[in-house]
Amino acid sequence: MPVIFPLLAACVLALFISPPLLAEPHDLVPVPDELEEPMRPVDDAAEPDEPIDERAAQRTTMMAHIDGLIATQQREYGLGALTLSVVRDDELWLAKGYGLADIESERAVVADETLFRIGSVSKTFTWTALMMLAERGRLDLDADVNDYLLDFSVHEAFGEPVTLRQIMHHRAGFEDTFRLFAVADDEPRELAELLAEHQPRRVYPPGARTAYSNWASALAAQVVEDVAGVPYGEFLQAELLDPLQMHDTTPLAPGQMTSGQRERLATGYKPEQGALVDQAFMQIGPYWPAGGLASTATDMARWMRFHLNGGELDGVRLLEADTHARMWTRAFDDRPAAADVAHGFQDRPYRGLHTFGHGGGTAAYLTNMVLVPELSLGIFLSQNSTHTMSPIRQVPDLVIDHVTGFDFHSWLLDRDSAGAEALAELAGTYVNNRRVFSTFAAVLGAFNIARVTPISADSVAVSLMGETQYMRRLNDDVFAAAGGDRIAFVRDADGDVVALADGMGVHTYERVGWFDNPMTLLAAFAVALLLTLTHAAGFSRRAGRQVYAGFAARLAGGAALLAVLAVFALAVALVYLAAGLGEFDISRMPGEYPPLAMFVVHYAGWAVAVAAGVLALAQWPAWSGSGWGLFKRLHFALFAVALLFLTVQLWQWRVIGAPVI
């Protein structure tokens, strides 16, 4: 039975690539000669003073560079297949497949034929559709979203409505939910019904925090459907895919594809014992607008050209240039030197450039699309496995570095403990705001944290997602790593640091005190377990002796035994939960979520809560008539306090006192 692990679940349908640092762009641009789709004539885009053969040489250089990058990644991580396209100056510069789309049949990846599921890159179509409807005067991005929903409403909270602009910037304030990953592709209910049933709580005032939301993204697609008066899929096909001649892009799930499409879909793989085995496809049913599209590298090249052209492709204009410019403008520009969101697109500063794009991940695929308007450059990359993010993180950035001529240099650590006091206000633990707050699943996101440690007066160490980076201050509250990752600290109206914005642009981490710190939950459990072991050892040592003679002593001893059994039960339940991590497979969530292990931990937590109450009541007989020595009574009292505090922490993290979903 699979268990939902916070870091894995956080990546699904929303895999984001962290941006590197600063460098000035150059005019040099490389490219390949051989393409799997014909290029437009080179001289159409050639600069008057730039010889055609020089540009051809640059293309050849780029192909060799990318071939080397991909070969290294394939060898290093045992990848099955990748597909890639690069556009520049409104041309398809490179479209190429690497590896085998299906290993058993030895079917090669062909850039203009092989389908890859692009995950959350699908959302960029929804955001574009919203901008098209706004341009036509059909909707107002700053109006209450409930004005456009026909079958249900977003719940009231904070005395403020939710707007489409807030949704597009992931600042609507919704908590996260895993429930959409438990919807099968053959789900008979409509999206509107599922959105109403699975509606998450609003946990932050609109605009206050950035927290990525798949549910809200699907809600945006429902708005398109309700406003346009046709199913979202029909709008997508008629208003975007057909006009842009993206004939190889489909919203169909693998099990619903035609036989021809299914034969073109790259098989998903996962590693096992040093080799690859088949990986089942993720299902999200009617939630597909949030991450269910499949496409080819050449179709996605057309999508990149459309956006790099400001809403036009090959004479077909779907958005006016000023509308498209507004789409790539941040509505909440409170950290201009760090990553944020611009109407659904990740807006990430990278080496002195603005990059726009999106990442995506499903059970079997990882994808990234990066657009650099200043270079008229776009890079699309997708792979048919999820065991490493290295290719989709590194290849687009390294292509940009190649174009600009940037040479990487590591930084020398500047450790100055005395000077670090100047950054003491930044130190602490920050918990990702993209998590569940109101149900048992809250505990599953509790350990997606960042830790900030000042190193000197102008540098910090940031531990995030299992990696620690040394970062230097760029300006005010923005810090950058040598590789380019940036973070920004968020302050409240009083100037106090309350959150951290990561380099992906779509996540913030809330600063927490000791009580809200996930480490406090771990410490509470560790102390309770230690006292449980010492009590168990005492029971064993006193077995057969008349230590609990008398009613009061027997009553207190019975309470202690109950507490010992309850804590042991919780420990076993947590081991059961942890054991499920090795079997985690999001493709199996329909019909299996919530898993049995979550219920086991939930009820074991309640057993601890009951035992804590009994132990607290047993203090009277223990201290008044048990005949125990002072040390034993103090030990007994400490055990009660530890279990009571553990109960409070279990409630705080929704292990108890909340639905198991």
Distance of CA 512 to the CA centre of its chain: 20
For domain 24-121+245-404, the question of CATH label 3.90.1150.10 is answered with no
Closest CA to 52 of 41, 62, 63, 64: 41
Distance of CA 28 to the CA centre of its chain: 34
Tokens of 58: 């640059």
User: What does residue 46 show for φ and ψ, rounded to 5 degrees?
Assistant: -70, 140
H-helix or E-strand spanning residue 346? strand 345-350
Every domain of the chain and the residues it spans = 24-121+245-404, 130-228, 419-512, 518-652
What is the rounded distance in angstroms from the CA atom of residue 497 to the CA atom of residue 428? 10
| Per-residue 3-state assignment (H helix, E strand, C coil) for 436-475 | CCCCHHHHHHCCCEEEEEEEECCEEEEEECCEEEEEEEEE
pLDDT digits (tens, 9 = 90+) for 519-531: 999 999 999 999 9
Q: Is residue 32 predicted with pLDDT exceeding 60?
A: no
Query: pLDDT at position 35, please?
Result: 32
Tell me what percent of the chain is helix, strand and coil, each rounded to the nearest 5.
40, 20, 40
H-helix or E-strand spanning residue 539? helix 518-541
The reported pTM is 0.91
User: CA 30, 32, 37, 43 torsion: positive or negative?
Assistant: positive
CA distances for 324 relative to 163, 240, 249, 319, 416, angstroms? 19, 14, 22, 6, 47
What is the rounded distance in angstroms from the CA atom of residue 521 to the CA atom of residue 443? 10
Mean per-residue pLDDT, 292-307: 98
From the CB of residue 576, how many other CB atoms can be counted at a distance below 10 Å?
Answer: 17
Distance of CA 39 to the CA centre of its chain: 35
Fold identical between 24-121+245-404 and 419-512?
no
- Of all residues in the chain, the percent with pLDDT exceeding 70 is 91
Query: pLDDT at position 543, please?
Result: 63
Query: pLDDT at position 487, please?
Result: 95
Best mean pLDDT range from 20-24, 266-270, 547-551: 266-270
What is the rounded distance in angstroms from the CA atom of residue 565 to the CA atom of residue 493? 49
Query: pLDDT at position 23, please?
Result: 32
Query: pLDDT at position 40, please?
Result: 34
Query: pLDDT at position 144, please?
Result: 98
Query: pLDDT at position 220, please?
Result: 98
CA dihedral 168, 171, 172, 174 (to 10 degrees): 120
Q: Is residue 26 predicted with pLDDT exceeding 50?
A: no
DSSP-assigned letter for residue 433: S
Which position has the token pair 């500063």? 349
Mean per-residue pLDDT, 202-210: 97
261 vs 547, more confident: 261
Q: Is residue 546 predicted with pLDDT exceeding 80?
A: no
626 vs 491, more confident: 491
Query: pLDDT at position 405, please?
Result: 94
For domain 419-512, give the CATH number: 2.40.128
Q: Report whether 87 contacts 381 (CB < 8 A).
A: no
What is the rounded distance in angstroms from the CA atom of residue 293 to the CA atom of residue 382? 13
Query: pLDDT at position 386, please?
Result: 95
Q: Is residue 28 predicted with pLDDT exceeding 50?
A: no
Which position has the token pair 């014909």? 38
Range from 24-33, 362-371, 544-553 carrying the lowest mean pLDDT: 24-33
Alpha helices by DSSP H, 79-236: 123-135, 164-168, 191-197, 214-228, 232-236
Q: Is residue 563 predicted with pLDDT exceeding 70?
A: yes
Which position has the token pair 């290719």? 391
Mean per-residue pLDDT, 173-197: 97
Q: Is residue 9 predicted with pLDDT exceeding 90?
A: no
480: β partners:
472, 486
Alpha helices by DSSP H, 78-213: 123-135, 164-168, 191-197
DSSP-assigned letter for residue 26: -
Mean per-residue pLDDT, 161-183: 97
Mean per-residue pLDDT, 110-124: 98
Res. 549 pLDDT band, cuts 50 70 90 = low
- Of all residues in the chain, the percent with pLDDT exceeding 90 is 83
> Can the peptide bond before residue 243 be classed as cis, meaning omega within 30 degrees of 0?
no
H-helix or E-strand spanning residue 22? none
Q: Is residue 165 predicted with pLDDT exceeding 60?
A: yes
pLDDT digits (tens, 9 = 90+) for 367-393: 999 999 999 999 999 999 999 999 999
pLDDT digits (tens, 9 = 90+) for 329-355: 999 988 999 999 999 999 999 998 999
DSSP-derived 3-state class of residue 82: strand
Q: Is residue 74 predicted with pLDDT exceeding 70?
A: yes
pLDDT digits (tens, 9 = 90+) for 571-625: 999 999 999 877 888 999 998 999 999 999 999 999 999 999 999 999 999 999 8
* Separation of first and last alpha carbons in the chain: 15
What is the rounded distance in angstroms from the CA atom of residue 152 to the CA atom of residue 175? 18
Query: pLDDT at position 10, please?
Result: 38
What is the rounded distance in angstroms from the CA atom of residue 497 to the CA atom of residue 488? 10
Average pLDDT over the chain, rounded to whole?
90
Q: What is the CA radius of gyration of the chain?
A: 28
What is the rounded distance in angstroms from the CA atom of residue 277 to the CA atom of residue 116? 17
Largest CA distance in the chain: 102
Tokens of 159: 């005395």
